Structure 1
Amino acid sequence: MRRGGGELETEVADRAAPVVLNHADKLPENGTLVVVSHGGTIRTTIGRLLGLEAHHWEGLGGLSNCCWSVLGRGARGWRLMEHNAGTLPEPVLGDDD
């Protein structure tokens, strides 16, 4: 269902997943690709890369601010290794504080 006239989640995945795949295919062996986007785009792209049906994407859960997900690609395809990982950094107080 369209929320506020925007794209369907499947349309977002149709647009974003090929871009990620294109860049991933250009990586050197053991290279790392960093993708920065909104949580919804990340979630739908992960769902598409994992081959999940769209109605299962919500099961991945949201992505908190400043957190990340890690995917790896193996012989059988993409694998979700971490999701919504990380914590916000603790403030560091200097000598002048």
Structure 2
Amino acid sequence: MKPIFESIPLVKNENKKRFEIDINGKYAFINYGEFGNQIALVHTETDSELAGEGAASAVVEKTLQYLEANAISLLPFCPYVFAYIKKHPEWKRIVSPKFKGYDKL
């Protein structure tokens, strides 16, 4: 994660059902669904002004840290999150073994 994003807090916006970071009024976020002690991450998006700056990776990393710290099991339906975990296999530790694509991570 780029140092610029380290001090930006992750917000769990329950009204919008997304994890988000606010970078000077521009957002990077991941939509989620909660199922008991599991969270499905379904879509990652960043404002176009943040494209190529690492904001999407930052919000994913911060969200995975949040899930681990809160002992929440992950269902990575979002293709970006899925690819991020493939690239950073240490995060497979928080993926639910019941996730259909678990063996592909």
Q: Calculate the TM-score normalised by the size of structure 1.
A: 0.31
| Greater Rg over alpha carbons, structure | 1
Normalized per residue, the structure richer in strand is 2
TM-score, normalised on structure 2? 0.29
